[in-house]
């Protein structure tokens, strides 16, 4: 898909890091439309609390599409309280098979402090290796940086923040204005 087909695709970096009994999800604040920075302080990491059950979500891609998916995920979590993986699989099934949802262009990182998952529109619910999940245009840079720091003395938040700083230095669609959420099982 080219930039002209979907210019919002290159607009963010989201990382999830599990270390030391905590999971941290961090996202940058840049919103780009093509080669233009529209906003630098967006919040692409959110906390959902359906029925008192905390889940942290980060999204990359179209904001409106991501909010639609977050609403659907929240409904799935209300139907299956405390079962993030099951709710995520149900969302991915709907996303892949529903004609309206199929058109949504976004990816999600979700965690309840125990599970750390990536959900895609291709029907994927992925539990990444090494306790690190990353999506968006700078996701691979942040992932590589975080992998290099996992054996250090840094805690989950320090790894996430450092990895995001490295991604922001490399990826022009990522900035250093971070939203960071921490959750424990």
Matching residue, tokens 């959750």? 183
CA distances from 120 to 6, 60, 61, 145, 175 (A): 16, 10, 11, 23, 23
Q: Does 12 qualify as catalytic in the annotation?
A: yes
Instruction: Give the residues across from 61 on adjacent strands.
Output: 106
b vs e for 33-62, b when ≥16 Cβ sit within 10 Å of the residue's Cβ?
Answer: eeeeeeeeebebbbebebeebebbbbbbbb
Phi, psi of 92 (to 5 degrees): -60, -40
Distance CA 151, CA 48 (A): 30
Catalytic residue among 4, 12, 111, 182: 12
Catalytic residues: 12
């Amino acid at each position: 898909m080219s930039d002209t087909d979907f210019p919002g695709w290159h607009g963010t970096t989201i990382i999830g890091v599990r270390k030391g009994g905590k999971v941290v999800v961090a996202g940058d604040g840049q919103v780009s439309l093509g080669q233009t920075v529209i906003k630098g302080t967006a919040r692409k990491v959110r906390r959902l609390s359906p029925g008192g059950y905390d889940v942290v979500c980060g999204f990359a891609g179209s904001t409106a599409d991501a909010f639609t998916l977050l609403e659907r995920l929240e409904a799935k979590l209300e139907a299956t309280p405390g079962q993030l993986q099951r709710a995520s699989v149900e969302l991915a099934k709907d996303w892949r098979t529903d004609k309206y949802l199929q058109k949504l262009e976004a990816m999600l990182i979700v965690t309840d402090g125990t599970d750390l998952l990536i959900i895609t529109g291709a029907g994927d619910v992925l539990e990444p290796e090494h306790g690190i999940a990353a999506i968006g245009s700078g996701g691979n840079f942040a992932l590589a940086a975080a992998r290099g720091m996992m054996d250090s003395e840094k805690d989950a938040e320090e790894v996430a923040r450092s990895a995001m700083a490295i991604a922001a230095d490399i990826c022009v669609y990522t900035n250093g204005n971070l939203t960071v959420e921490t959750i424990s099982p």
